[in-house]
A and B are shown apart, each in its own frame.
Chain A
């Protein structure tokens, strides 16, 4: 995989999470999360299932509501104000585990829908942008097809292109390769690496430790709704500090 160590991280703050807490009813899913993401950073969030990693990134574009603390994205604080939420959502792209393409629209329509309706981009320009990003994820020939006709890996690449068409400043990935066959994981990861090389700010929930080592400049390990450890990837993998991290790493890297 590409060596991306030289990719630039700026001092500008992209996401600031302060003392954030979230409950599902009585269940305390996220506990006192503090995290700062600078522009250009590529963060991998890992942890056992149920540790709250997906919930954390879903809070960043308010697919989930937090009950205490503060989340500021690109200078906009996420409150119940719908205007702020829409503003943040149009700046933050998200890629889901199950792609969530719109099955009733063609690939091209999937890509142009949000730019046309949210950004009010003229249709022709939206199509040009869409084709540019389809080239970029290497499937321009599929533009006229429906999502159901594509393989999982292709669908996920379309989903990435769909987010990129909104020209987001931040990208969130929620286990983008977990629903894919091993043969298709690589094509999606390659797309994500390409994105990282372009300097996109990324937060990625994934179990692909190879990807973390190659691309991330910080790995965050979560357990029971808390950030247990975070570090540079080299240090994180070779010299984990907490026992919980050691146990987790031994289990996923053990075979």
Chain B
């Protein structure tokens, strides 16, 4: 019989775990050789990696850069008695087409400046108002831009302007990172002006429409509530765009005729095209997706039905159909004299497409929040928009980060599908153009690998960033 009475007189200190429970050996045993089957799989894996490496090694070891055609490569290989080797000459001679499509060489500073400004605009969104990462990102973009522009042989005038602008923005990033958000706001118009060219007043006029809508919204919001104010604000903007903008911008262009050479959509190609479509669609689809997700959860019958209808319709249609709609069908519905840029049409439809998926991802995030969160917000007297903005969305978006990120990744990679409507994407379109050169007709793997590596670098960075964000926003301490 044991004695039921027991009293501890001193508390035990923590002790080290027994030997063999930590370190490399334990890791190996647990992860690679824990059972006969796992041992077999480990060996199989080692064998597969080895075969692949042995197969690819000679091809990569015999890489040739300073060649001007596939025939040169073959001659060198034959002279050295080798059978296989990568012919990177195609990348060396044609890299600019992969990046810039058919843009004028003398105008390369425009897309490069837009690209650098992209990093300036997303810095305050990615890193909030943290000074160091903002300044590092903007400063890094500035140095990168100046080096690239110098390397591209840009004329001193444009190089000087770009360097001065970026230096100023770096200073802003260091002094007051929050102010970079103004650059973010101005970025769509700036980038459009740089990429498409034409009169500076066109993009400014479009942005003025948004500014006008915002002013009207701010004035009316307190008087008549959020939803009616938003309605009237949108109406004002539409009236401005349709009837007033043309007159005002024509007048301003008469006084200050600033403009860049206008580029037609045919000059866009390669990663310039992928980025234009990808970045625009990503930044447009997130807010649209949030609105659709809210609409789908709304109590109001009409809004809910419209949101559900839109989401289900768009998700039921392949992206290619949307692209064909953009390239062919939309023309039938627009008035005959309108010349609506094909790339803009593609951007709009890709954004709508992506927003339906984002909406569902965010709706999932919102559904995962406990009902008490909405109730607590209600009980404190927060109105609908305040509750969504301050309580529901920050949490729902945080939960949805992995889903949103994979939507963005697939959207970015899907931009290569625009090849189907005749645009020169880097993977198919540009590669086809490059191979139509008799010198590079037989270059098969090299362009694909080059394009693939660049896609990988950007997708992997996005993925790493989303992991960083998840860690940074983790406050639940579970």
Contacts and interface: CB of A to CB of B under 8 A. Distances in A.
A104 B379 contact: no
B478 A100 contact: no
A117 interface: yes
Contact of B372 (A89, A90, A96, A166): A96
Contact of A162 (B372, B380, B382): B380
A149 interface: yes
A118 B382 contact: yes
Interface stretch (B9-17, B205-213, B279-287, B383-391): B383-391
A184 interface: no
Interface stretch (B108-116, B121-129, B469-477): B469-477
A132 interface: no
Nearest to B477: A148
Given A103-B395, A103-B476, A146-B477, A63 B375 contact: yes
Contact of A63 (B373, B379, B382, B473): B379
Nearest to B475: A146
A96 B375 contact: yes
Interface size class of A (residues with CB under 8 A): 20 to 34
Specify which of B376, B380, B386, B398 lies most central, judged by the most chain A CB atoms within 10 Å of its CB: B380
A63 B372 contact: no
B336 interface: no
B395 to A, nearest CB: 5
Interface size class of B (residues with CB under 8 A): 20 to 34
Given A98-B370, A117-B390, A118-B386, A104 B475 contact: yes
Given A146-B477, A148-B477, A149-B477, A102 B381 contact: no
A89 B390 CA distance: 17
A120 to B, nearest CB: 11
B189 to A, nearest CB: 31
B233 to A, nearest CB: 21
A26 to B, nearest CB: 21
Interface in B93-115: none
Specify which of A86, A100, A148 lies most central, judged by the most chain B CB atoms within 10 Å of its CB: A100
B379 A89 contact: yes
A94 B379 contact: yes
A100 B383 contact: no
Nearest to A63: B375
A137 interface: no
B394 interface: yes
A113 interface: yes
B378 interface: yes
Given A117-B390, A148-B477, A104 B381 contact: no
Interface string B457-478: 0000000000000000101111
| Closest 6 A/B residue pairs (Cβ) | A90-B381, A148-B477, A100-B372, A100-B376, A114-B380, A94-B379
6 contacts: A63-B375, A63-B379, A90-B380, A104-B473, A117-B382, A146-B476
Given A102-B373, A146-B475, 16 more contacts: A63-B375, A89-B379, A100-B370, A100-B372, A100-B375, A100-B376, A101-B376, A102-B395, A103-B395, A104-B395, A104-B473, A113-B380, A118-B380, A118-B382, A163-B380, A166-B380
Interface of A: 61, 63, 82, 86, 89-90, 92-94, 96, 98, 100-104, 113-114, 117-118, 146, 148-149, 162-163, 166
